[in-house]
Structure 1
Amino acid sequence: MNAELEKKIEQLEEEKMHLGLDVDVHKLETEKLRKGKNKAEEDLDSLKTDYKKLRLSIRTAGLGKTSEQWRQEIREEKYRSRNSAMKLKASLSKIEEMKGRIEELESTLRSCEIRTEHLEINESRQSEQLHHL
């Protein structure tokens, strides 16, 4: 019976170690996703700033242009505006995706921490039982 308890304790300690590693991996993944989310938000802010500057330059620039030059500039601005809007949508989508992944990882992390806690309690109980024998 002592050998069984010792074997069970060894198994629990090994499982605890693996869960600890899993927790560390999940923490690293969560941090990586947070950094990616922050970068995407910075990119989004930069795009918004560029868009505002572009709108301002459209209003203040271009005196003395021909009709064709104006039409060409308008086409280019529409193209840039569409590109900015698409980048903005892609960034927002990526942010939402990252938020979802972060929530999943945080949930998994909580699960692993709870499981580790239960294993530590079981290990403690089994150690106490072993000492009482």
Structure 2
Amino acid sequence: MKKLAVEPMVTSEYNEWWSKRVNDNILRSRKEDVRSIEEYLQVVSSEIEIIRQDFEKRNLELGKKIEQLEEEKMQLGLDVDIQKSIRTAGLGKTSEQWRQEIQEKKIKADQWEKKFQDTRAREASLGKIEELKEQVGELEDALQNSELRIEILEKSNEQWQEQFHPSQDQIRERDYIMGEAVAQVREVADHLQTLAVQADVLSLKYESELDRGQ
């Protein structure tokens, strides 16, 4: 399973602020500090939004691939040329004997066609399902990275609160931004769960069809 690279947990804006704070050893005004918190939260929220949009794009692509797989299964056919079976004229067979032989060959051709369709459909289905599960795994990794960023962000906010004692209005504004970020992560998690269920259902469906064909 492919793993997504984990991006740095803090932004360049945060590193720049922290470096200036250590070097200068002078705290800026409370208004400037609050603005830094807001900018940091906005950057993290933007990163989560990018992950969510990428997930929705992949989910749409996977849905189209599943529909295409169903259409290929319905349209797959084997063109059997019956005329080849009657090109051996001059063997002394009657018309009835020819019709009977043609019917037998047609039955055999239908049987081989069904076996071919079952085998090819199963191989294609298993390939699509494995691809789907692999992409689900990638999205799970992305979701875990997002949750880890939220956790680090929450700890960072607790440290800010201890150092600067923000006002009640500032706390409510910070909590609102945090709530938006958490809601976006939960939305991605819900989509991920739906996609995983869809993959399992598709896998069971093709296994059941193969069992009935055997």
Q: Same fold (TM over 0.5)?
A: yes
Cα distance change of structure 1 residues 83 and 36 upon mapping to structure 2, 3 Å threshold: farther
* Aligned residue type for 1:83: E
Which structure is larger by alpha-carbon Rg, 1 or 2?
2
Corresponding residue of 2:141: 42
Shift in Å, 1:61 = 3.0
Contact 1:47/1:88 (<8 A) preserved: yes
Residue 90 of structure 1: which of 187, 197, 201 is its match?
187
Tell me, yes or no, if structure 1 residue 13 matches structure 2 residue 88. Answer: no
Aligned residues of 1:30 and 1:102 also touching (Cα < 8 A): yes
Counterpart of 1:78 in structure 2 is 176
Stretches (4+) displaced over 4 A: 64-68
Relative contact order (alpha carbons < 8 A, sep ≥ 6): 1 or 2 greater? 1
CA displacement, residues 37-90 of structure 1 (integer Å, 9 cap, x when unaligned): 21221122112211111111112236357749x81x7624531x2233222222
RMSD, aligned CA = 2.6
**How high is the TM-score relative to the length of structure 2?**
0.45
Unaligned runs of 5+ in 1: 119-133
- CA-CA distance at 1:9 after TM superposition: 1.1
Residues 1:107 and 2:204 aligned together? yes
Select the residue among 113, 121, 124 that pairs with 1:22.
Answer: 121
Q: What CA distance in whole angstroms lies between the structure 1 residues aligned with 2:148 and 2:110?
A: 57
Distance 1:101 1:5 in 2: 42
Identify if the C-alpha distance between structure 1 residues 75 and 66 changes in structure 2 by more than 3 Å, giving closer, same or farther. closer
**Structure 2 stretches of 5 or more lacking a match?**
1-99
Contact 1:29 1:105 in 2 (8 A): no
Q: Is the partner of 1:94 in helix, strand or coil? A: helix
Q: How many residue pairs were aligned?
A: 114
From the two aligned structures, give the one with the greater helix fraction: 1
Q: Percent identity?
A: 11
**CA deviations over 1:88-118 (Å, ceiling 9, x no partner):** 22222122212221222112221232244x3
